[in-house]
Structure 1
């Protein structure tokens, strides 16, 4: 390990690291030569004393520490205080970089030197408070940690070593329920040139960083910079959902690679794969979907698996469809198995062909691992796609760690148990949906493919509609066939909602009544319009009380609400007047939903218009 020359020296065997407003406090200290840390929010312990360290090239850092030194004066960076700490050990020194936010703490190891680094283990651990609740995802097969497509459920920290039939290793994130409805999240940020972090429950309320590669480890060329190990904190569900620490820990986009971002356009997509019939992937059928997308005012269509094998002249046919789609204002995405483009030469030839055909994005699938070589594949694809002005959607992959901040052409990724499971005879339960906004979606966009009205499992029609407003995805792929939406009168009441459905939001507020796995209730603003979306995750009727204090104006808001009919077989739309001071109660049926569109009051809109004329 390379020795460092500190520029600013503050040496001690215990260091206290504070967030900008001293909401979070981390202590870094040594005990019998071992490097330890703990994190707390005011009086609430988030991480009890836990070990730090990493095994590189056969040497285990973190076990023979002689001195800790703050080698650079702490400085403010993206709403955090950044600390650079030199860890002096018997055989050398390395750096521990720490970032303290008021709602999160993060650290990473930096080991310099030109030689290759073989990482075989991290000693990094997280010891949780006793009796803490833990939300984790479960799937009773090896797919659990390959595709992250598990059902979100709750256990206690004491049960984590044995709760899963698949063993003690869990995927990220883990959402921790603390006393008094406070929350913590264990995850990572800025996963580049490294293996994805998994978490192994080792007993005594402790989880240790674990890698797909196991004992053989993985090699990093030259300087080693690990991803950030992240502990998020929130004193309520609203703080949990609005935590921006993960994005802040990722590098800014390359100003050369992303000098032009005009091709990066969030939007909604139609999709023929999940509702496929005997005409699936026939060019004429895909053209029907393109015209249906235009009729719905959707921005995209996704041509999924099969186009390369079913079309004898695939590139000519793709270009023809792209040309036809462009005339209607619809962009075309295409699917590709990742194994066919893992070689960079093959990848670049394929992407060149996609771009020349006129497509706008690529969905790649079946990485099925977060081993380092697959992580490098993902980053390489994002770079190569950006060079060709293409957007990307990853499937069969791990949860995000903020990649879309550095590579804004990543529009979404799977790493989630979504609606495609409904056609695999593993229907999604309502409680899983009611947990997702507070668990997986805390990490970033998820390609869940909501709105599967005709194959909705044990959820209602309005529950499915509400998911389109609750679940974040800059490429929001709607599961239901657009032909069904346009031709079946059942869906006529919600067509105005689908035609104006936002996919990015200016403001999100988690409403009272929300409870992980029980109820998710959001108020979300896009421009001047507000939307309320609520889903019931239980098998019994739930009472929801709406107090629209988020409204800025004291006027009357002429709103439209969508709810389920008593028999659950139809949408019911109603006009209602809402005021900021109102308190309205709604009975959300078992596994049901509610959606309300609240436009700006007429008088307020008129006033803004008059002011604009005056100015």
Structure 2
């Protein structure tokens, strides 16, 4: 690393100009972030790529409970550094990741208060990021942030992909509109009862500046701070950081020294560049777990889809306050668990998720509410925990436990260490943790609404949970989580999070649109891998008596197969019922064969909301796998195979939509063919409406 102190340059530059500006550029010189002080001592920044301005002058600063840190600043010092390193992932879309950037640290002092605030900015070849730092100082000890003034003032009214923000849930429909229309609840449907907030959106927010420039706004290294949403100020195309509050209105309770999360702007020439970007992870600290040999990727099946489709129940006798009908028995029985273990053992799945195996579900109220109803270890009457563990061990299959907390943090958090240690001692190394319902803590009033899911209190809880799991060598899958901000680099035992509308919405609502799966890779998945629960083969589902719409999965079977490549997760679930896979073993073979850990990933084509094709190389081999998906429109692509090894011949097993396949009228046809190919060849990929294609390239000796 080299360090260049630029005091002389600052004196020369600032001494002869009224505007005080300093800039840092990406290593390739393409992207720039520049800072400036106006005449009132307020700090601004702007971001450009080449000749294209992306973010125009945008304000920075804070309002504290005790004072304003909006203006009155002077620049004391500026220091630049360059960094170049490479690090190896425990698992991921790539084995080796380059971490190369130029950095500038600007040290400011507010004249009247003498408070010191630093701004640190990094410029990468795939984007820029900045954060605030409050160094240790006598003038600022404990303090409360009441507003973060960070703005993102876009240089034009570009097309954006976004969903409505609220403070407790990311499971939203994605919309595309101009930036000025983000959060427009007159034009786009907002679920007021779910606290979706007008003129606000979640991050990542992805924006198409022009045909050759795409950016995404997010954050990285969210540790002890409030999660950020974006507020449409309705002034020009300016979005403002909007932090999730504590219930009393405080945003962040903190003390110096401290650093905020990074505010990130990923930049690419096309949507595929965003998928290939590793900037979010690079902005997080290196792995904090010394021994990572126990952290393995895997695939799983489980007792899950049958619960959402209404075939069985989480509860034994009473679910959500209503007696269960005979047609909906308890799902997590010893017999059903053994059936799934047998299927997993036969087809090579390492884990079986069992939801509803503990007592307490019968005491849950409507809308997933309850207080103190779970102890997360007492089995249901018809579930023999010891026998299931013994049977799984005999078959070489692990049980994946499910801890539904219903956000009862006051009871769950003190038990985590003991529960995780006990699970590991019994051969369980993966736990799915759910956080439905309102957050309860430190209260004697049952079901009281205490804090928001995305505020500082829960950010702290999720971090403590990951660390406690790591201590006990437990892999974690989160549902109803805080957003991913690249922390899988630091704690790779956090394998996947939900944090978006997943497959379950297809079981009891109007479902996810055919374009939903070609929006997620360029929005939600930019933060980290998603547990989408893939591979539903029986896409036409039983109709519910209350539904005024068709309940079904809006894709072809082959799109569900292709998701195992396009919808990255190191621990994907084959989510359908085993009997539905047994009816279509030809297509199921790809799901059995596809790896979960990659050494390279290359986007071959991509357009947000329209189509996505990606090829991934299996870690430790020369084998490649390709996934391609489309929205409601059929498409044909010609794909160069130059990603393959130039000196090898491959057998390509092509899993494609069958003749006349269509997500709505004919979703089931699948055709499987085999041909030999080399890196010099091209392949024609034909996708049905709402369809997909998956290809396994096996290197021949």
TM-score (norm 2): 0.79
| Cα deviation, residue 376, structure 1 | 0.4
Q: Greater CA deviation, 550-559 or 471-480?
A: 550-559
| Cα deviation, residue 118, structure 1 | 0.7
Q: Greater CA deviation, 186-195 or 266-275?
A: 266-275
Aligned to 1:529: 623
How far apart are the structure 2 equivalents of 1:194 and 1:548?
45
Aligned to 1:509: 602
SS in 2 for 1:271: strand
Aligned to 2:389: 322
SS in 2 for 1:240: helix
2:270 is aligned with 1:236: yes
How far apart are the structure 1 equivalents of 2:284 and 2:585?
43
Given that 1:289 and 1:483 are in contact with CA atoms closer than 8 Å, whether structure 2 keeps it comes out as: no
Could you tell me which of 52, 55, 62 is aligned with 2:63? 55
Could you tell me which of 347, 351, 358 is aligned with 2:427? 358
How far apart are the structure 2 equivalents of 1:48 and 1:161?
21
Equivalence map 1:5-20=2 (5 Å): 9=7, 11=10, 12=14, 13-20=20-27
| Cα deviation, residue 504, structure 1 | 2.2
Given that 1:145 and 1:170 are in contact with CA atoms closer than 8 Å, whether structure 2 keeps it comes out as: no
Given that 1:112 and 1:222 are in contact with CA atoms closer than 8 Å, whether structure 2 keeps it comes out as: yes
How far apart are the structure 2 equivalents of 1:73 and 1:516?
36
Aligned to 2:444: none
Given that 2:431 and 2:474 are in contact with CA atoms closer than 8 Å, whether structure 1 keeps it comes out as: yes
How far apart are the structure 2 equivalents of 1:384 and 1:558?
45
Could you tell me which of 479, 490, 500 is aligned with 1:416? 500
Aligned to 1:217: 251
Stretches of structure 1 that go unaligned for 5 or more consecutive residues are 1-5, 606-615
How far apart are the structure 2 equivalents of 1:524 and 1:82?
31
Given that 1:296 and 1:499 are in contact with CA atoms closer than 8 Å, whether structure 2 keeps it comes out as: yes
Aligned to 1:520: 612
Could you tell me which of 65, 80, 101 is aligned with 2:124? 101
Stretches of structure 2 that go unaligned for 5 or more consecutive residues are 15-19, 85-98, 191-196, 313-328, 362-376, 437-451, 540-551, 660-665
Q: Greater CA deviation, 82-91 or 546-555?
A: 546-555
SS in 1 for 2:253: strand
| Cα deviation, residue 73, structure 1 | 4.0
SS in 1 for 2:607: coil
| Cα deviation, residue 312, structure 1 | 5.9
| Cα deviation, residue 351, structure 1 | 2.3
SS in 2 for 1:376: helix
How far apart are the structure 1 equivalents of 2:231 and 2:219?
14
Could you tell me which of 325, 330, 347 is aligned with 2:416? 347
Given that 1:370 and 1:398 are in contact with CA atoms closer than 8 Å, whether structure 2 keeps it comes out as: yes
How far apart are the structure 1 equivalents of 2:466 and 2:46?
36
Equivalence map 1:531-610=2 (5 Å): 531-538=625-632, 540-553=633-646, 556-566=649-659, 567-600=666-699, 602=700, 605=701
How far apart are the structure 1 equivalents of 2:430 and 2:60?
41
SS in 2 for 1:517: coil
Could you tell me which of 305, 316, 333 is aligned with 1:282? 333
How far apart are the structure 2 equivalents of 1:43 and 1:289?
58
| Cα deviation, residue 569, structure 1 | 2.5
Distance 1:326 1:117, change over 3 A: farther
How far apart are the structure 1 equivalents of 2:697 and 2:346?
24
2:248 is aligned with 1:248: no
SS in 1 for 2:211: helix
Given that 2:687 and 2:693 are in contact with CA atoms closer than 8 Å, whether structure 1 keeps it comes out as: yes
| Cα deviation, residue 43, structure 1 | 0.8
Equivalence map 1:156-171=2 (5 Å): 156-162=178-184, 164=188, 165=190, 166-171=197-202
Given that 2:333 and 2:357 are in contact with CA atoms closer than 8 Å, whether structure 1 keeps it comes out as: no
Q: How many residue pairs get matched?
A: 584
How far apart are the structure 2 equivalents of 1:232 and 1:417?
23
Distance 1:440 1:121, change over 3 A: same
Report the structure, 1 or 2, having the larger helix content: 1
How far apart are the structure 1 equivalents of 2:143 and 2:396?
49
2:483 is aligned with 1:449: no
Given that 1:212 and 1:370 are in contact with CA atoms closer than 8 Å, whether structure 2 keeps it comes out as: yes
Could you tell me which of 103, 109, 116 is aligned with 1:82? 103
Q: Greater CA deviation, 500-509 or 271-280?
A: 271-280
2:73 is aligned with 1:65: yes
| Cα deviation, residue 101, structure 1 | 0.9
| Cα deviation, residue 68, structure 1 | 4.9
SS in 2 for 1:419: coil
Distance 1:586 1:499, change over 3 A: closer
| Cα deviation, residue 117, structure 1 | 2.1
| Cα deviation, residue 85, structure 1 | 1.3
Equivalence map 1:291-306=2 (5 Å): 291-306=342-357
Aligned to 1:206: 238
SS in 1 for 2:431: strand
Given that 2:345 and 2:395 are in contact with CA atoms closer than 8 Å, whether structure 1 keeps it comes out as: yes
How far apart are the structure 1 equivalents of 2:424 and 2:409?
15
Q: Greater CA deviation, 551-560 or 518-527?
A: 551-560
SS in 1 for 2:473: coil
| Cα deviation, residue 570, structure 1 | 3.1
